[in-house]
Amino acid sequence: MLLLQKKQAGVTLIEIIVSIGIFAIIVVSWNVIVIQNYRTTSFGDDQQSAIREAREAAAIMVREIREMSTAENGAYALEDAQDDEIIFFSDVDSDVLTERIRYFIDGTELKKGVTEPTGDPLEYVTSTESVITIANHLFNQSNNLFTYYDEFYPYSTSTNPLPAPARLISTKLIHIQLHVTVDPANAPETFIVESDVQLRNLKTNL
């Protein structure tokens, strides 16, 4: 008499291990995709926020630089004109008195310093300067924050942009350029916020 053997049902241990391995690969791959999407979205949001902040800062600088005028102590409107720092006098808080304003880059931050005139006669005590950060995530590197031009620009480029020695007296237009990125290591390129501002009170071609 023939004995019929039942075929064992179910899966082997190897099949279970292979299935678990495939499942693990799928889970890890999915997690990588989710994390990458999150990072991309987060970078985009942060970058847009930094750009918006830089645009607002540029608008403030343009408004205040445009109205620079003689200081309360009689000093010339433009005190210092460097590539990454500018010092000038302007009534930025509409209190009749002209403040000493300083804009400069500190690392990746754009900062603003304000010195109120005090005393009798009025003078500017720089040790009383109040400094705040008005924009973050700057990555200008070798790109100037400020570039200076005389009254003949853009029709004459022989003396423009102005070299440092000629900037204080000859400057009639200032170009502002902010390079913005929240992640210099991974961003393909920086976003540039730039503006031109004419110095109303220093114009000579009226």
Model pLDDT, residue 12: 79
Going by pLDDT thresholds of 50, 70 and 90, the confidence category of residue 206 is: very low
pLDDT by residue (tens digit) across 67-102?
Answer: 999 999 999 999 999 999 999 999 999 888 999 999
Model pLDDT, residue 37: 55
pLDDT by residue (tens digit) across 151-162?
Answer: 999 888 888 999
**Between 124 and 37, residue with greater pLDDT:** 124
Model pLDDT, residue 3: 47
Query: Is 0.95 surpassed by the pTM of this model?
Result: no
pLDDT by residue (tens digit) across 8-60?
Answer: 555 677 777 777 878 778 777 766 665 555 555 555 788 899 999 999 999 99
Model pLDDT, residue 40: 52
**Mean pLDDT (the chain, rounded):** 86
pLDDT at 113 over 90: yes
Question: Which among 131, 145, 132, 133 has a CA at the least distance from the CA of 180?
Answer: 145
Model pLDDT, residue 193: 95
